[in-house]
């Protein structure tokens, strides 16, 4: 789900950090008004940084907004930037916990139902199985569809984030064999 990037720049780590500090608006927990232009928000801590973009047409709170999580390392030619673009860590953890919990719960119900020797051939038994199958399918499909829709809404922002980091840090991509 995450897009991994390996970049290099002729700028020093200190210059990269300075440019990021100058270019990023501070993250505010509550935004009462949406920016009228595309605005880059982020945090810089040590040699690690996070960047996300909010534009005039964005929803107020979008849990699926992509975030660039990056780190800087000194290299002989300047600095190496490694990072990934993904949704907020909390969203990933929540969806993982949701799937594990739902699948464990529904799996236990199905296991009990199939091993208990219940009369599943009766009308009530068949109705319960149909209902349980419907709930099981929706408990898995609905969160997946929400996640997919959220990612699709923000697909262009991944490219925007990459262009921002490349332009701000005067970076270029590292060949895949060299960057890993």
Predicted pLDDT of residue 178: 46
Closest CA to 65 of 45, 51, 75: 51
Q: What's the predicted TM-score (pTM) here? A: 0.74
3-87+155-179: CATH architecture: 2-Layer Sandwich (3.30)
Q: Is the pLDDT of residue 61 over 70?
A: no
pLDDT digits (tens, 9 = 90+) for 104-141: 988 888 888 778 777 767 777 778 888 888 988 888 88
Closest CA to 6 of 78, 63, 80: 80
């Amino acid at each position: 789900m995450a897009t991994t990037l390996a970049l290099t720049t002729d700028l020093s780590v200190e210059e990269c950090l300075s440019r990021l500090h100058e270019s990023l608006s501070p993250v505010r927990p509550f935004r009462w008004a949406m920016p009228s232009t595309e605005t880059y928000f982020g945090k810089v801590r040590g040699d690690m940084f996070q960047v996300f973009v909010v534009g005039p047409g964005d929803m107020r709170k979008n849990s699926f907004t992509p975030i660039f999580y990056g780190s800087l390392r000194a290299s002989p030619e300047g600095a190496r930037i490694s990072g990934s673009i993904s949704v907020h860590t909390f969203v990933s953890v929540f969806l993982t916990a949701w799937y594990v919990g739902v699948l464990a719960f529904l799996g236990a119900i199905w296991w009990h139902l199939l091993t208990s020797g219940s009369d599943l051939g009766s009308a009530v038994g068949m109705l319960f199985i149909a209902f349980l199958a419907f709930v099981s399918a929706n408990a898995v499909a609905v969160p997946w569809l929400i996640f997919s829709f959220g990612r699709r809404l923000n697909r262009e922002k991944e490219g925007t984030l990459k262009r921002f980091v490349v332009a701000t840090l005067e970076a270029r991509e590292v060949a895949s064999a060299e960057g890993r």
